[in-house]
Structure 1
Amino acid sequence: MRRKLIVNADDFGMCVGVNTGIIRAHQAGIVTSTTLMANGLAFDDAVARLRDAPRLGVGIHLVLLGGQPVAPPSDVRSLLGPDGTLPNDFGLFLRRLLRRELRPAEIEIEFRAQVEKVLAAGLQPTHLDSHKHTHAHPQVLDAMLRVAESYGIQSVRRPHERLTFASLAGLRPGEILTFIKQKASALALARYAADFRARLRTASVRTPDAFFGFAHTGLLNPALICYILRLLPVGTSELMCHPSEMDDTLRHYPTRLKASRVRELAALTDARVQAEITRQNIQLVSFAHLDHCNEPRTTDHAR
């Protein structure tokens, strides 16, 4: 069996700089897939740019954190903050979810509205994932799976990285603390991994066999990507990334990933990375590749 890799760029549609960077990382680099934010500030710009990238796989980056809802606000009131937007605070979101203040029916309504917007733009999504991995939680995952089944979307991200995976390859001293914090978040997310696998065993969706990029969110560099490439297991893996060019919107956007996105764009288009893919005989694919498998794929490389 060959080793295959999906390189998925998150946040398509967030702003023009992100859109420009993702298309460049696809055309001149190793990005094979992206996920589109239906409530992104530059959604229309993202859709227009896809005309120049016919081979780029496009999924949906379902958003419950940050920005305006796509569904009518009156239909998703439990998801909104006092200002009528989706609060951009994962800790608050999780606390409200655990206190059952967020209505599962309204999560599903918002997800359906986001999918409908993407479909109305003439796109056929290859897969679903979620902004800040909210679908790792069982309540959100259940809503996602119902929506995937309703719209015939056959693949989703499994955002659980192998717990023993750690590398400081190419990291600058100031980035090591960020890695430690991200790794702690990945370990916290692992509490839901068994439940996630159990739900997928009874669902009609597929996932890649392995996932990389959580602990190194915002930290990808050529040396680290090459290290990951040498570690890839047999089967299909996903590498999550966040490339972008800098623009004024990104400079003021409520995200910690700003200059790091520009560095990731450089890494994803680096000749050393492309040479390592050739050296390792890795086939670059998109989530559409999973649709050609005969059975759901839920092999566990998270432990």
Structure 2
Amino acid sequence: MIKKLIMNADDFGMTQGNSIGILMAHAQGILTSTTCMMNMPYAEFALKEAKKFPKLGVGIHFVLTVGRPLVEGAKSYTDKDGNFIRPKDYPDKQPHADPEELYVEWKAQMEKYIEVAGHKPTHIDSHHHVHLLPWHVEVAKRLAKEYDLPMRQREQVLDTYEYARCDDRMYGDDANYDFVTKAYSVDDEILEFMCHPAYVDQRLYDMTSYCLPRMKELELILSPELKQFVVDHNIELINFSDIKKMAE
């Protein structure tokens, strides 16, 4: 059984509805962490509202595949209109950014987070896990070390902080008590469990095919049964600010 759990909601700031759902999942459920998309129009709303919940860890959700970049002019990941290219439009369904262009864009997203929030994020991850693609991971590691932050990992690729393995399998029909509790019943010291709870508003409905299942995830995170499971198994709820830095 895991000893410590980071329950992290992706996509904070994508829409007003999904951001409110994430805050509800924290205030009334077992959610401990989220990550904000700084190129989205509700990013500032989300970060402002998060200040009302000091125990909620808020990281940065680096973006490369939806919306517009913060820095104009990059050629390796934008279409003719200057928007990020969606994964479905790449031949192999995966973005391939020039490392230096990517560094500039993700650094701009990081600096905007700091400007709006008034502090660094708790950690780094990314939309569609693009920071873990083999040709992008060195950029993510560079920024993690530059800003002295932990980051989401499936397998350990960054050694500056304690390793928290990410379980990112909960989608749609997998948002149920049995699936989640089985995922928690592993021997990891620390587990990050990724989720996407939300209230669905029109913008979210228009933006993503993964829409209504987010409400199912929210219901699960709020459920008394899952809360009781955490209590019964002495699982400590933490966020990435509790992750210890490794001795140099």
Contact kept in structure 2, 1:133 and 1:159, CA below 8 Å: no
Aligned to 1:116: 111
* Alpha-carbon offset, residue 257 of structure 1: 1.3
* Alpha-carbon offset, residue 213 of structure 1: 2.6
The counterpart of 1:152, out of the listed 133, 148, 151, is 148
The counterpart of 2:138, out of the listed 135, 142, 146, is 142
Q: List runs of 5+ in structure 2 lacking aligned partners.
A: none
CA distance in 2, matches of 1:118, 1:4: 27
* Alpha-carbon offset, residue 97 of structure 1: 5.3
Deviations 1:135-167 (A, max 9, x none): 2212211111111222222x111135xxxxxxx
Q: List runs of 5+ in structure 1 lacking aligned partners.
A: 161-196, 297-303
Aligned to 1:182: none
The one-letter code matched in structure 2 to 1:150 is: E
* Alpha-carbon offset, residue 48 of structure 1: 1.5
* Alpha-carbon offset, residue 92 of structure 1: 1.0
CA distance in 1, matches of 2:16, 2:161: 31
CA 1:280–1:95 in 2, change beyond 3 Å: closer, same or farther? Answer: closer
Which is richer in helix? 1
Aligned to 2:82: 84
Contact kept in structure 1, 2:87 and 2:95, CA below 8 Å: no
The counterpart of 1:232, out of the listed 166, 169, 186, is 186
Q: What is the root-mean-square deviation of aligned Cα atoms in Å?
A: 2.1
The counterpart of 1:251, out of the listed 196, 205, 214, is 205
SS of aligned partner of 2:190: strand
Contact kept in structure 1, 2:25 and 2:221, CA below 8 Å: yes
Between the aligned residues of both structures, percent identity stands at: 32
Size of the aligned set, in residue pairs, is: 246
Contact kept in structure 2, 1:10 and 1:35, CA below 8 Å: yes
CA 1:103–1:247 in 2, change beyond 3 Å: closer, same or farther? Answer: same
Contact kept in structure 1, 2:17 and 2:198, CA below 8 Å: yes
The counterpart of 2:167, out of the listed 212, 220, 228, is 212
* Alpha-carbon offset, residue 220 of structure 1: 1.5
The one-letter code matched in structure 2 to 1:5 is: L
Normalization by structure 2: what TM-score? 0.91
SS of aligned partner of 2:136: helix
SS of aligned partner of 2:158: helix
CA 1:295–1:15 in 2, change beyond 3 Å: closer, same or farther? Answer: same
